[in-house]
Chains A and B, each alone.
Chain A
């Protein structure tokens, strides 16, 4: 394994094994009292497990503060998990040595939400794109330029030379995001983490960027974790959707399944809140779940959604944490409504 020129298709995993598997992951942040004792924890991610296969794109959806960014940062190796494991390419990233961590970081690309903020304003496009290569140890200047050219062609920033000397503020939002994507794929990663990559862009550019991401994903057989709160863009992109609420993944399943036949009451609410460009909707009142997302410091007992849930089963939901049930193949949901012992007649939306 060399850092300078990572071979594109080395893999330690057997076919059918996931590229990334997250097991019982807990990311808790300590709250300190006067900088000394621990006053409590923010349970940003609590008991999350999932698998991501090579070449697969998943979407993690959920409202602000549900822990999706903490989950993403942990996968990127920026946060330390409190418990649980993240297995990438057959190896546990929390046990990585410094060298292995450097290798891991070349294997994972990161596309951020705010393209302007994601680019250092005082560097030219060339310097911005050179940075990851320098960090990864590509010593030869000419080799770096070659790889920058290749990446910029892939994100369709051509002619490349017109852009190399420019500063981020001289580019449009869409171009900035293309540079961010170029930086993410520069080291030829196998996993791309995209944190709301189009939410800050004009509607006209969104589809372009999403199409570009999709194309890159297919060309390179990239695994993609697409994080969003906007279900309307999910269909462009991913094969599976994970719905996250208050630090837990409450529902997982193929895109069509989730969008057409959502099971969890929270997913219903999310879908109901998705705007549709239909003039008749202009004056329609949408039913949104009452209340605020719960505090992650003292989450509600039992099912975390129960204080806002319309279908609450008194005596069960607020007491016991719901187990994960497979309602249809590959469609899993954490809700008492689908436990035959508790609720013999599951509702359908």
Chain B
């Protein structure tokens, strides 16, 4: 305890340790926040849910904050849902039904065109489907009829895929895809220039006519942007934020459990071997030597391929295989030296038991070596998990940083220039490694003052 308090006090004098501690605390707070804000079940649904959960997001777009560095601002997504009161909605009673008018209005101030537009309908009716007519109003007062259609349950209108709309656009605006034509500033193309979007307030009017007294229509307009959220999205329209956030607790838990699990057991085994010596020590040493020859990664790959890719199975296997690792030799060397200390002899002379000697006299002596070791070991296990994920052996359910990298590589992110996809998880991995490394090295300097002179 004393040791711990003194160490913490001394850590203040090392800027790198303070930085490391700040990084680690931020990661910890971030992890706790993640687990509370996106509970496990929700995260799994968000990550594995399927199209009907991800349909609102654009595909493979970088995060919104990248606009800050761009001269031409890319559009963000606009999602307006009449069920949530994001449209001006009015109803007018008619014979046998009513007329519902929904106005979706949004301000568009970007220098690029959105990716696509979709309109989703959520009608309720018994037999006769409601009829909607959709009109697009541009900031300069022009208007364009989009479609007139009877809406069925689960119906959606995709602007970019409608033949009639394409023909109408060609006739009225020019030969552009719908997502360009609807936002085009006509002035920009008059002299054959690059099409640029017109900035201002756009409005989509949906007029629905129902034919039953109880029938109703709600709808949702989605203008898919070219940037999204704080993390961007992947090829399945998933928000990378979920994986990046959940990656933190998973990485920390894996790293910490693996590091503590291996170091503590290794240390106890080394101490027991040294203290009892003879056959016990021989056995431990031979097992260690054999184990050192066994390659960790291929064994984990085998376990992942043939048995289970669950992160807990992999964690267990990692710990089991690392217990009899090279550090047993290091600790043994120190213990052999400590064992000969006169204070151990004194403890034997006043009758301390074997267990007491191991835990009260041998092990505390090694803590100065162990604690920095433990701290620097955490990121190496985090990286191990990421490497396994990159090799396709990540946990099949949990989203982790390594899996993001794997997804991005599998989908040619670097080839397509989607750097954010690779860099975000990599940066988090590196920051994690950096935080623990800075703290670990400083702890090493504090606990082993002789290193300071080197």
Known interface pairs A136-B351, A183-B346; 10 further A-B residue pairs with C-beta atoms within 8 A, sorted by A's residue number: A73-B345, A78-B345, A101-B351, A102-B351, A110-B349, A118-B346, A132-B350, A135-B352, A135-B353, A135-B356
**Which listed residue, A131, A180, A187, touches B347 by the CB 8 Å rule?**
A131
In chain B between 330 and 363, which residues have their CB closer than 8 angstroms to a CB of chain A?
A: 341-343, 345-353, 356, 360-361
In the assembled complex, the Cα of A121 lies from the Cα of B352 at a distance in Å of 17
In the assembled complex, the Cα of A77 lies from the Cα of B367 at a distance in Å of 30
Query: Using Cβ atoms and an 8 Å threshold, which residues of chain A touch B351?
Result: 101-102, 105-106, 132, 135-136
Query: Using Cβ atoms and an 8 Å threshold, which residues of chain B touch A123?
Result: 364
A122 near B365 (CB under 8 angstroms)?
A: yes
A-B contact pairs, 19 of them (CB 8 A): A78-B348, A78-B349, A101-B351, A105-B349, A105-B350, A105-B351, A106-B350, A108-B349, A110-B346, A112-B342, A117-B341, A118-B342, A120-B361, A120-B364, A122-B365, A124-B2, A135-B347, A135-B350, A183-B350
Residue A230 is within 8 A (CB to CB) of chain B in the complex: no
In the assembled complex, the Cα of A76 lies from the Cα of B356 at a distance in Å of 19
Residue B282 is within 8 A (CB to CB) of chain A in the complex: yes
Q: Which of B342, B365, B367 has the most CB of A within 10 A?
A: B342
Given A120-B361, A122-B365, A124-B2: A187 in contact with B350 (beta carbons within 8 A) = yes
In the assembled complex, the Cα of A57 lies from the Cα of B317 at a distance in Å of 61
Residue B71 is within 8 A (CB to CB) of chain A in the complex: no
B342 near A114 (CB under 8 angstroms)?
A: yes
**Which listed residue, A35, A118, A136, touches B343 by the CB 8 Å rule?**
A118
Residue A113 is within 8 A (CB to CB) of chain B in the complex: yes
Residue B3 is within 8 A (CB to CB) of chain A in the complex: yes
Closest chain A residue, CB of each to CB of B3: A122
In the assembled complex, the Cα of A296 lies from the Cα of B314 at a distance in Å of 55
Seen from chain A, the residues whose Cβ lies within 8 Å of a Cβ on chain B are: 35, 73, 76-78, 101-102, 105-106, 108, 110, 112-114, 117-124, 131-132, 135-136, 180, 183, 187
Closest chain A residue, CB of each to CB of B278: A35
Closest chain B residue, CB of each to CB of A117: B342
What is the 8 Å Cβ interface bit string for chain B, positions 357-377, against chain A (1 contact, 0 not)? 000110011010000000000
Q: Which of B360, B361, B364 has the most CB of A within 10 A?
A: B360
Closest chain B residue, CB of each to CB of A32: B278
Query: Using Cβ atoms and an 8 Å threshold, which residues of chain A touch B352?
Result: 131, 135
Query: Using Cβ atoms and an 8 Å threshold, which residues of chain B touch A122?
Result: 3, 364-365, 367
A136 near B350 (CB under 8 angstroms)?
A: yes
Query: Using Cβ atoms and an 8 Å threshold, which residues of chain A touch B353?
Result: 135
Q: Which of B343, B356, B365 has the most CB of A within 10 A?
A: B343
B360 near A131 (CB under 8 angstroms)?
A: yes
Query: Using Cβ atoms and an 8 Å threshold, which residues of chain B touch A35?
Result: 282
In the assembled complex, the Cα of A89 lies from the Cα of B356 at a distance in Å of 28
In the assembled complex, the Cα of A120 lies from the Cα of B349 at a distance in Å of 14
B350 near A112 (CB under 8 angstroms)?
A: no
In the assembled complex, the Cα of A131 lies from the Cα of B350 at a distance in Å of 9
**Shortest CB distance B354–A (Å):** 12
Query: Using Cβ atoms and an 8 Å threshold, which residues of chain A touch B365?
Result: 120-122
A120 near B343 (CB under 8 angstroms)?
A: yes
Q: Which of B2, B348, B350, B351 has the most CB of A within 10 A?
A: B350
In the assembled complex, the Cα of A73 lies from the Cα of B282 at a distance in Å of 26
In the assembled complex, the Cα of A122 lies from the Cα of B352 at a distance in Å of 17
**Shortest CB distance B282–A (Å):** 7
**Shortest CB distance B285–A (Å):** 12
In the assembled complex, the Cα of A119 lies from the Cα of B364 at a distance in Å of 13
In the assembled complex, the Cα of A318 lies from the Cα of B347 at a distance in Å of 42
In the assembled complex, the Cα of A310 lies from the Cα of B328 at a distance in Å of 53
Q: Which of B282, B345, B347, B365 has the most CB of A within 10 A?
A: B345
**Shortest CB distance B365–A (Å):** 7
What is the 8 Å Cβ interface bit string for chain B, positions 22-50, against chain A (1 contact, 0 not)? 00000000000000000000000000000
**Which listed residue, B343, B348, B361, B367, touches A117 by the CB 8 Å rule?**
B343
In the assembled complex, the Cα of A112 lies from the Cα of B348 at a distance in Å of 13
**Shortest CB distance B401–A (Å):** 38
In the assembled complex, the Cα of A105 lies from the Cα of B346 at a distance in Å of 11
In the assembled complex, the Cα of A223 lies from the Cα of B365 at a distance in Å of 34
In the assembled complex, the Cα of A110 lies from the Cα of B282 at a distance in Å of 32
What is the 8 Å Cβ interface bit string for chain B, positions 1-19, against chain A (1 contact, 0 not)? 0110000000000000000
Closest chain A residue, CB of each to CB of B352: A135
In the assembled complex, the Cα of A314 lies from the Cα of B421 at a distance in Å of 95
Closest chain A residue, CB of each to CB of B343: A120
**Shortest CB distance A101–B (Å):** 7
Query: Using Cβ atoms and an 8 Å threshold, which residues of chain A touch B342?
Result: 112-114, 117-118
Closest chain B residue, CB of each to CB of A123: B364
Query: Using Cβ atoms and an 8 Å threshold, which residues of chain A touch B346?
Result: 110, 112, 118, 180, 183
In the assembled complex, the Cα of A122 lies from the Cα of B361 at a distance in Å of 9
B343 near A119 (CB under 8 angstroms)?
A: yes
In the assembled complex, the Cα of A131 lies from the Cα of B282 at a distance in Å of 31
B345 near A112 (CB under 8 angstroms)?
A: yes
In the assembled complex, the Cα of A142 lies from the Cα of B295 at a distance in Å of 55
Closest chain B residue, CB of each to CB of A132: B350
In the assembled complex, the Cα of A131 lies from the Cα of B344 at a distance in Å of 12
Closest chain A residue, CB of each to CB of B353: A135
In the assembled complex, the Cα of A117 lies from the Cα of B342 at a distance in Å of 5
Query: Using Cβ atoms and an 8 Å threshold, which residues of chain B touch A131?
Result: 347, 350, 352, 360
Query: Using Cβ atoms and an 8 Å threshold, which residues of chain A touch B341?
Result: 117, 120
**Shortest CB distance B349–A (Å):** 4
In the assembled complex, the Cα of A187 lies from the Cα of B364 at a distance in Å of 25
**Shortest CB distance B341–A (Å):** 6
Query: Using Cβ atoms and an 8 Å threshold, which residues of chain B touch A119?
Result: 343
What is the 8 Å Cβ interface bit string for chain B, positions 266-286, against chain A (1 contact, 0 not)? 000000000000000010000
Closest chain B residue, CB of each to CB of A101: B351
In the assembled complex, the Cα of A117 lies from the Cα of B347 at a distance in Å of 12
Query: Using Cβ atoms and an 8 Å threshold, which residues of chain B touch A117?
Result: 341-343
In the assembled complex, the Cα of A102 lies from the Cα of B346 at a distance in Å of 14
A76 near B349 (CB under 8 angstroms)?
A: yes
